C-alpha cells in the first residue's frame, strides 16, 4: 500500500502551506501576515488583526471603516438561535453550549452557501467573527439566568462583548477603557497560531467540503481540552488549588514526578521552546488591569512566584518549559469579572478568525485535497468469525 511516515502527535508533519502566521519557536517569534504579535497587540486593534488575517494585508482607514461596518451588520443571531438555549441544563458548561450553537448556525446557512465562491466564503467568515461574541455572551447569560443582551453596534468589538456580558436590564454596564483595551488585547493575542490542534481540526473537517459553521464547531470541540484552550481555565483552578506561595515547592515537585499526572498548567508549548511572545504582552496587561482596578490578587502573587521558581528550576530549564499565553490571561479575565468556565469560550471567540482564515485559505487552493492521515495497524491479523450459537 505504499509508504508513509509514522508521526503520532504530528511532531514532524507539515500538513499544508500557509501564508497566514509564522512561528519561530526557538526564538519566541510570532508574526501574523509578517507583523510581529507584540506590535499588533499594542498598536492595532482586534478588528484590524481580523482584517489582515482574512485579507492578507493590514487595512487602510477606509477599508477598516468598511470592515467594521460589515462586522457590526452581522452581530445579531437569528431569533431561532435563542430557542436552542432552552434545551440546555442551567449548569451546562458554556463551551458545550458554544459548540452546539455554533454548529447550529450551519442549519441557518447551508443550502444557499457556495463554499467555492470566495465572496461567499468571506461572508461566512464575517458572520462568524461578528456572531461569536453574541453567542458567547448568551451562553454566559443563560448560565446565570439573566436575559440576553442584544449587540450594540456603536460600541467597539470588545466594548460590545463586555456590554453583552455585564449589562442587566435595570443598569447599563459602564465600560472601563482599560478593561476594554485588555479584552481587545486578549482577543488579539489568541487570534491565530498556525496549525495547532483546533485549527488543524477545522482544516481537516473543512477538507471534505463540509459546512464552515459545522467546521468551526469542530474547532471549538478541539480547543476545549486542557492541553489546548482549556489550559486557561485549568491554570486558574491550579493557582487556586496551590492557594499560597508556601505551597508552590510541593506543586513543582508534583509536576516533576513522572508517576503523577499533574502538570503545571500554563507552562510548556509544542512549538515555543523559549518565552511565548504572547505571554510577555499578557503579563504587562495583567499588571495594568490589576493596577487600574486596584486589585490585590493573592493568586497573582502565587503566579509570579511560580513563574520565578519554575524559570530557575533545572527540570523546567532543561525541558524549555516557559509560561505560555494562558498563564496570565486567566488572572486578567478573573479581575474583569469573567467566571472561570468562560475562559475557554473567550479563547474560542478570539480564535474563530484564525480558524476561518485557515479554512478560507484552504478552500481557495487550486488542488485542495481531503485530509486523510494513515495509521499503523496493531490489531489482529485476519481470523475466522464464529457466529454465536442461538
Catalogue the active-site residues.
269, 326
Nearer to ligand CMC, 168 or 227 (CB): 227
Cell of 239: 493557582
E strand map for 236-349: none
Q: How far is the CB of 364 from ligand CMC (least distance, A)?
A: 25
Nearer to ligand CMC, 145 or 261 (CB): 261
**Residue 63 burial (10 A CB sphere; 0-12, 13-18, 19+):** middle
Q: Give me the residue label for grid cell 449587540.
A: 151
Q: How far is the CB of 269 from ligand CMC (least distance, A)?
A: 5
Cell of 303: 503566579
Adjacent-strand bridge partners of 24:
29
Nearer to ligand CMC, 196 or 285 (CB): 196
Could you give the 3-state DSSP secondary structure of residue 267?
strand
Q: How far is the CB of 292 from ligand CMC (least distance, A)?
A: 25
Backbone angles phi, psi at 275, to 5 degrees: -55, 135
Order of all β-strands in the sheet with 29-32: 21-24, 29-32, 35-36
Q: How far is the CB of 241 from ligand CMC (least distance, A)?
A: 14
Cell of 307: 513563574
Nearer to ligand CMC, 206 or 268 (CB): 268
Nearer to ligand CMC, 272 or 359 (CB): 272
Distance CA 198, CA 223 (A): 5
Q: How far is the CB of 384 from ligand CMC (least distance, A)?
A: 41
Angle between helices 118-144 and 94-108 (to 10 degrees): 140
Q: Are 331 and 301 in contact (CB under 8 A)?
A: no
**Cα of 84 vs its chain's centroid, Å:** 23
Q: Whose CA is closest to 84, among 74, 97, 69, 68?
A: 97
State the residues that interact with ligand CMC by CB under 6 A. 193, 196, 227-229, 231, 255, 263-270, 319, 321, 324-326
Nearer to ligand CMC, 94 or 266 (CB): 266
Q: How far is the CB of 282 from ligand CMC (least distance, A)?
A: 11
Nearer to ligand CMC, 142 or 328 (CB): 328
CB atoms closer than 10 angstroms to residue 250: 10
> What is the longest distance spanned by two Cα atoms in the chain?
77
Q: How far is the CB of 250 from ligand CMC (least distance, A)?
A: 14
Q: Enumerate residues 6+ apart whose C-beta is below 8 A from 359.
A: 121, 125, 202, 203, 206, 212, 215, 216
Cell of 387: 457466529
Cell of 357: 482564515
Tell me the residue number closest to ligand CMC, measured at CB. 268
Amino acid at each position: 500500500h505504499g509508504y508513509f511516515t509514522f508521526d503520532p502527535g504530528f511532531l514532524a508533519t507539515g500538513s499544508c502551506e500557509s501564508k497566514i502566521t509564522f512561528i519561530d519557536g526557538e526564538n519566541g517569534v510570532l508574526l501574523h501576515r509578517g507583523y510581529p504579535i507584540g506590535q499588533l497587540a499594542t498598536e492595532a486593534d482586534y478588528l484590524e488583526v481580523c482584517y489582515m488575517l482574512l485579507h492578507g494585508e493590514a487595512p487602510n482607514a477606509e477599508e477598516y471603516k468598511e470592515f467594521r461596518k460589515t462586522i457590526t451588520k452581522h452581530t445579531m443571531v437569528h431569533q431561532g438561535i435563542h430557542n436552542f438555549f432552552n434545551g440546555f441544563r442551567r449548569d451546562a458548561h458554556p463551551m458545550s453550549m458554544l459548540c452546539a450553537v455554533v454548529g447550529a448556525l450551519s442549519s441557518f446557512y447551508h443550502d444557499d452557501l457556495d463554499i467555492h465562491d470566495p465572496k461567499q466564503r468571506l461572508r461566512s467568515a464575517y458572520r462568524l467573527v461578528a456572531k461569536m461574541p453574541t453567542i458567547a455572551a448568551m451562553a454566559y447569560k443563560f448560565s446565570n439566568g439573566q436575559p440576553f443582551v442584544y449587540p450594540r453596534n456603536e460600541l467597539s468589538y470588545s466594548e460590545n462583548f463586555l456590554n453583552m456580558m455585564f449589562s442587566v436590564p435595570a443598569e447599563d454596564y459602564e465600560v472601563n477603557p482599560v478593561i476594554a483595551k485588555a479584552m481587545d488585547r486578549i482577543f488579539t493575542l489568541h487570534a491565530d497560531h498556525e496549525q495547532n490542534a483546533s485549527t488543524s481540526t477545522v482544516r481537516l473537517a473543512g477538507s471534505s467540503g463540509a459546512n464552515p459553521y459545522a467546521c468551526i464547531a469542530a474547532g471549538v470541540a478541539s480547543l476545549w481540552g486542557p492541553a489546548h484552550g482549556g489550559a486557561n481555565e485549568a491554570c486558574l483552578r491550579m493557582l487556586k488549588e496551590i492557594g499560597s506561595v508556601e505551597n508552590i515547592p510541593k506543586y513543582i515537585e508534583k509536576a516533576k514526578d513522572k508517576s503523577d499526572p499533574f502538570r503545571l498548567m500554563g507552562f510548556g508549548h509544542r512549538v515555543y521552546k523559549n518565552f511565548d511572545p504572547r505571554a510577555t504582552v499578557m503579563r504587562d496587561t495583567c499588571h495594568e488591569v490589576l493596577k487600574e482596578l486596584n486589585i490585590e490578587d493573592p493568586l497573582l502573587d502565587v503566579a509570579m512566584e511560580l513563574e520565578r521558581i519554575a524559570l530557575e528550576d533545572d527540570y523546567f530549564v532543561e525541558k524549555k518549559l516557559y509560561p505560555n499565553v494562558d498563564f496570565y490571561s486567566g488572572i486578567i479575565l478573573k479581575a474583569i469579572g469573567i467566571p472561570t468556565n468562560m475562559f475557554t469560550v473567550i479563547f474560542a471567540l478570539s480564535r474563530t478568525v484564525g480558524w476561518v482564515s485557515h479554512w478560507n485559505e484552504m478552500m481557495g487552493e487550486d488542488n485542495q485535497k481531503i485530509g486523510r492521515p494513515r495509521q499503523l495497524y496493531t490489531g489482529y491479523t485476519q481470523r475466522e468469525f464464529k457466529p454465536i450459537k442461538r
